[in-house]
Amino acid sequence: MGLIGLFRKKTVQDILKQVEKNNADGHNSLGKHLTARDLTAFGIAAIIGAGIFSTIGKASADGGPAVIFLFLFTAIACSFAAFAYAEFASMVPVSGSAYTYSYVAFGEIIAWIIGWALIMEYSVGNITVAISWSDYFTGLLESGGLNLPQWVQMDFLSASRGFDEATALMQSGKEFSKLSPALQDAFTAWSTSPAIGSFHFVADLPALLIIVLITALIYRGMKESRNASNIMVVVKVCIVLLVIAVGVFYVDTANWDPFAPNGVTGVLKGVSAVFFAYIGFDAISTTAEECKDPQRDLPRGMMWAIIICTILYIAIALVLTGMVNYSLLNVGDPLAFVFEKLDLKWMSGIIAVSAVVAMASVLLVFQMGQPRIWMSMSRDGLLPKRFSKIHPKFKTPSYATIVTGFVVAVPALFLNLTLVTDLTSIGTLFAFVLVCAGVLVLQNRTDIPRGKFKTPYVNSKFILPVLIIIGLVFAFGYNKKATMDFINNETQINSSEAIITSLNKEETQKVYAYLVRIDPKNSTDKTPDLELLLGQYHSDDTKYANVIAGLPIADSVKYESGFSLFKHKIPMWIFLFVLVGLVVWSFKSNLSLIPILGLISCLYLMAQLSVWNWIYFGIWLLIGLAVYFSFGRKHSKLNI
């Protein structure tokens, strides 16, 4: 079998016939319990979680009140993708989500790649949610007087990196008490943990606990999962509305000035955090075989979930940034923080309890999606048969559910929150891009049976070039300096924290002596805090640049230039080249506007993620290809 065999496709007719014959080889039918209301609730359960209770704080601190535009842009990007998902779900109403859709549109190898990428969305995403849940849960315990040791409530990677960073900052003169709470916790966790030689036992045990409980619930059945999800959705939506209703009376409009303190760059820094707040609506499509009327209800459930959650996100962002200055919101629990700051501790307690419930509901939806992806891949022969076995009593993919529990639980003990958030985002965006592209590939096919929902057609032939021209006018007219700096790969100055944490002891002493010499009144012999001394120049870009230029250290520490700077721009260059190709394709083939805008906006969000995320994602895909060529290709049902 040559390379052509890698792109062998399944037809919609064959897929639908396969569903009818599910009882063969132990592939019993899944129970049909879900309505449009249940699907909307699952979508809200997935979307309102870590985003609104955790990552919204960091995004607001970076972008200020203008972060609402990022929520709006991300919602629009997700809505474009949701149209594509809804059309496929109506056309192919089976479990499998983007994996199954890609099998129809592109062929087996692409379907495998997207199925492997979805593991990043559901399994790796659940690691993120479990870690966030653990943070809120341990905070709730502490407020009740029960303090767990730091080394059983923090992941290994955060503790290790935090210890190194805290040590570097203290070496530069910063007192332990003046370190951020996160660094203090990391230092304490690492230094107090049991150790065998150089290995420290640091593991997030509460994250393990919630994963075990949620996996057990999902194993028991869809009806039980649905009922639990609906209850948790009602609780957390009521809490979010309560936060808005109470918080609006404490809004000071002066906190909204400036509205975009860090400009477009600051707003876009929160891309990963804000996009992570939206992912999960596509998990609804994995429940297609458990819907009473999937062709009608799946599109409705997706759209209503996105609309409702976008309104809530924007309202919460405006209330938060109005209650306190945006710069104070870079905390892990922003909702509880703002009410505690205003001495409304009773609200902080309510929010902490609701956050624990909210995170659990997100975990439930994601943990429910992954086994159904594996079940679909197993049905096609790309994974061993046992992954598609359905429990005779509970009507759930039992083996795949247990494996998912292990895949999520073990890394949650050790992995860092930021790392898994970014990996989840890039895996999900990649899935969105391929689903949108799939709709474009199939739009003119007459041999495909269409479902009840079809994306409204608007010819993008001339509209897309006009939009590109408007973008170029903005880039070179209103944002010329940043655009030219990007094209010319202009040298950039590193942040004071990045510089200080890169110094050894001798360099630290030299830098401190230089800073005291240029400004003697800032001499602090007892605590020579370099971060404090350098940070005072941040408000004046010219002065900061002059101070950094005079530091008696290597330029490689002070600046980023050449390939070390260019490598971070590679994702954006990939986006720009693909954009040119899409304009040509659109002009030649009269492509539909909505899916092509979905493809472009999701690819743009991918380009905003760091090059390291692309590299890690590439490594993950290579591992997946090794699995495919060693097992899946040989055992595929299409390998006849």
Residues 355-371: tens digit of each pLDDT: 787 778 778 777 877 78
**436 CB contacts (<8 Å, ≥6 apart)?**
80, 81, 84, 595, 596, 598, 599, 602
- In this predicted structure, the answer to whether residue 96 has a pLDDT above a threshold of 70 is no
What's the pLDDT band for 25 if we cut at 50, 70, 90? Answer: very low
pLDDT band at 581 (very low <50, low <70, confident <90, very high): very high
Which amino acid appears at position 55 of this protein?
T
Task: Give yes or no for residue 286 having a pLDDT over 90.
Answer: no
- Quote the pLDDT of residue 596: 92
Question: Could you tell me what percent of the chain has a pLDDT over 70?
Answer: 86
Continuous H helices in 255-397: 263-268, 271-278, 294-323, 334-341, 345-379
| Whether pLDDT at 253 is above 80 | yes
pLDDT tens profile 64-91? 888 888 888 888 888 888 888 877 777 7
Q: How many other C-beta atoms lie within 10 A of the C-beta of residue 476? A: 12
Distance separating alpha carbons of residues 466 and 115, to the nearest angstrom:
35
DSSP state string for 394-461: T-S-HHHHHHHHHHHHHHHTT--HHHHHHHHHHHHHHHHHHHHHHHHHHTT-SSSPP-S--PPP-B-T
* pLDDT tens digits, 305-348: 888 888 888 888 888 888 888 877 777 677 777 887 788 777 87
CA 482, CA 346: separation in Å to the nearest integer? Answer: 46
Cα distances from 588 to residues 446, 462, 470, 610, in angstroms, run 19, 11, 21, 33
pLDDT class of 480 with cuts at 50, 70, 90: confident
Determine the pLDDT at residue 27: 46
Q: What per-residue confidence (pLDDT) applies to 520?
A: 66
d(C-alpha 202, C-alpha 204), whole Å: 7
Torsion of the alpha carbons at 511, 516, 519 and 524, rounded to the nearest 10: 120
pLDDT at 579: 93
Q: Residue 577: which pLDDT band, with cuts at 50, 70 and 90?
A: very high
Q: Measured in whole angstroms, how far is the alpha carbon of residue 306 from the centre of its chain?
A: 16
The more confidently predicted of residues 399 and 272 is: 399
pLDDT for the residue 222 = 63
pLDDT interval class at 527 (50, 70, 90)? very low
**E-assigned strand segments in 179-234:** 195-196, 199-200
Q: Exposed, middle or buried, 581 (CB in 10 Å: 0-12/13-18/19+)?
A: exposed
Neighbour tally for 141: CB within 10 Å? 15
Domain edges within the chain: 32-144+208-443, 156-202
The residue among 394 and 630 whose pLDDT is bigger is 630
Q: 32-144+208-443 has which CATH code? A: 1.20.1740.10
Q: How far apart are CA 538 and CA 541, in angstroms?
A: 6
| Structure tokens that stand for 91 in this block | 């056309």
Q: Confidence class of residue 26 from pLDDT cuts 50, 70 and 90?
A: very low
Confidence band (pLDDT; 50, 70, 90) for 59? confident
CB atoms within 10 A of CB 584: 10
pLDDT of residue 4: 61
**169 membership: H or E segment, kind and range:** helix 156-171
**Span 192-205, average pLDDT:** 82
In whole angstroms, what is the distance from residue 106 CA to residue 7 CA? 7
Mean pLDDT taken over the chain: 79
Q: How much is the CA Rg of the chain, to the nearest whole Å?
A: 25
Confidence of residue 552 (pLDDT cuts 50, 70, 90): confident
- Give residue 609's pLDDT: 83
3-class SS of residue 106:
coil
Peptide bond into 258 cis (omega under 30): yes
For 587-614, what is each residue's pLDDT tens digit?
888 989 999 998 998 898 888 888 888 9
Residue 584 pLDDT class (50, 70, 90 cuts) = very high
Q: Does residue 278 register a pLDDT over 50?
A: yes
pLDDT at 485 over 70: yes
Contact 277, 51 (CB under 8 A): yes
- pLDDT at residue 573, as a whole number: 92
Question: Residue 34 forms beta bridges with which residues?
Answer: 291
Residue 344: which of 317, 318, 325, 324 has the closest Cα? 324
pLDDT, residue 339, reads: 81
Tell the burial category of 393 from Cβ atoms under 10 Å away from its Cβ (0-12, 13-18, 19+).
exposed
Which residue is it, tokens 């109470």? 246
Binned at pLDDT 50, 70 and 90, residue 416 comes out as low
Burial of 431 (0-12, 13-18, 19+ CB in 10 A): buried
How many residues are there in the chain? 640
Provide the 8-state DSSP code for 107.
Answer: -
| Strand, helix or coil for residue 343 | coil
3-state class of 291 per DSSP?
strand
- How much is the average pLDDT of 217-242? 76
Helix ranges, 21-145 (H): 36-47, 50, 56-63, 67-91, 97-105, 108-119, 125-143
Contact between 130 and 123 (Cβ < 8 Å): no
**Each residue of 143-176: pLDDT tens digit?**
777 778 888 887 777 788 888 888 877 776 777 7
Q: What is the mean pLDDT of residues 482-493?
A: 84
Per-residue pLDDT for 436 more than 70? yes
Confidence class of residue 180 from pLDDT cuts 50, 70 and 90? confident
Question: Is residue 526 pLDDT above 60, yes or no?
Answer: no
297 close to 36: Cβ distance less than 8 angstroms: yes
What burial letters (b/e) apply to 457-467, b meaning 16+ CB within 10 Å? eeebeeebeee
Lowest mean pLDDT among 102-111, 217-226, 310-319: 217-226
What pLDDT shows up at residue 20?
Answer: 64
Name which of 53-57, 391-395, 632-636 the model is least confident about.
53-57
Give CA–CA dist 271/67, Å, rounded.
Answer: 10
Q: What 3-state DSSP class applies to 324?
A: coil
What is the band of 509 on the pLDDT scale with cuts at 50, 70, 90? confident
Q: Beta 199-200 vs 492-493: how paired, if at all?
A: unpaired
Does 434 or 575 have the greater pLDDT score?
Answer: 575
Helix (H, G, I), strand (E, B) or coil at 559: strand
